Amino acid sequence: MKTLEPGELLDNFRIEKMVSHSGMATIYRATDTRDNTVVAIKVPHPQMEADPVLADRFNREQEIGLTTDHPSVLKMLPSDDHSALYMVMEWVEGDLLRNIMTEQKQLPIEQAVAITSQVCDALEYLHKHGIIHRDLKPENIMIDSHDNIKLIDFGIAMKENARRLTFTSMSQTLGTPDYISPEQVQGKRGDARSDIYSLGVILYEMLVGSVPFSGANPFTVMNARVIADAPSARKQRKEITPALQEILYRALERDPHHRYSTAHEFQWDLEHQEQVGVEEGRERNSPRLRKVGLNKKTLLYVAVIAVPVALFGLMLLLARGH
């Protein structure tokens, strides 16, 4: 579909303005001429409509949006008789968390904790309904003037028992390198705990002003989280309490079995920090691995980690050529 101009009609919706434009779709603010309700219209780009994998992603996002009902989850609005492929969503006044973080660098600790707690509540609802977001990042969290949050963009969300994804769809279904969980980097399907890891990264970034891992390219960043623990946020911002640092450690555990098992557990600790036990000797000085000799066991371990990352890169290249 061509770019829509202000004043133009798309079925019953009068376009007011373009709001955002990504590689997959364009979002417009519009008015439903039947009742003057302000809505958001998401229109996929022509190449997305022509690609079965991307079209499936778009339809899955709409399906999830129509079946969820939570104040912190963006609602899809039912709309029949479309003359083209698009989805209608509730209009949300606010700003992206990414924009707020870019402006403030480090958020007040109380605000960062409150935002994270609300996201936990939304995730608990989604996970209980068999939905894994899989692409949690500041760009997909909206904040209104009262600090209420709204989760958006379920383009790569997964419903339990959904089919496995093919190699050609990997680049659209594994999330963003800065926030992806270690198990997803290793090619595993991921589950609710993968969302918890991503949220832990977001909390860390809100508190510190940067993500736990950085590198020259996405593959370096992803590999780092597989072979090393997240560095201490408290060493970079002294106001962070030992209890809050402990919460970060639990959310950012490399092994999902050692991580918070539910978003509710994560939220409970955030709201009852005075009851969070701090493990002695847990403070981590660096994201690097301990220095060890390169014996056969170490070389084997590095190889086991490197292969999934290399395969991930290959699949990305294949997907881009798809």
Contact at 8 Å (CB) between 1 and 46?
yes
Give the active site residue among 135, 153, 191, 269. 135
Q: Hey, how many other C-beta atoms are within 10 angstroms of the C-beta on 118?
A: 20
Is 135 considered catalytic here?
A: yes
Picking from 69, 66, 92, the residue whose alpha carbon sits closest to that of residue 79 is 66
State the Cα–Cα distance between residues 15 and 232, nearest whole angstrom. Answer: 47
Contact at 8 Å (CB) between 114 and 107?
no
Cβ neighbourhood burial of 73 (10 Å; 0-12, 13-18, 19+): buried
Looking at residue 34, its amino acid is R
Task: Identify the helix (H) or strand (E) that includes residue 10.
Answer: strand 9-10
Picking from 20, 225, 260, the residue whose alpha carbon sits closest to that of residue 140 is 20
Number of alpha helices (DSSP H) and beta strands (DSSP E) in the chain: 10, 10
Sheet holding 149-151, edge to edge: 95-96, 141-143, 149-151
Structure tokens of 175? 């999330």
Active site residues: 135
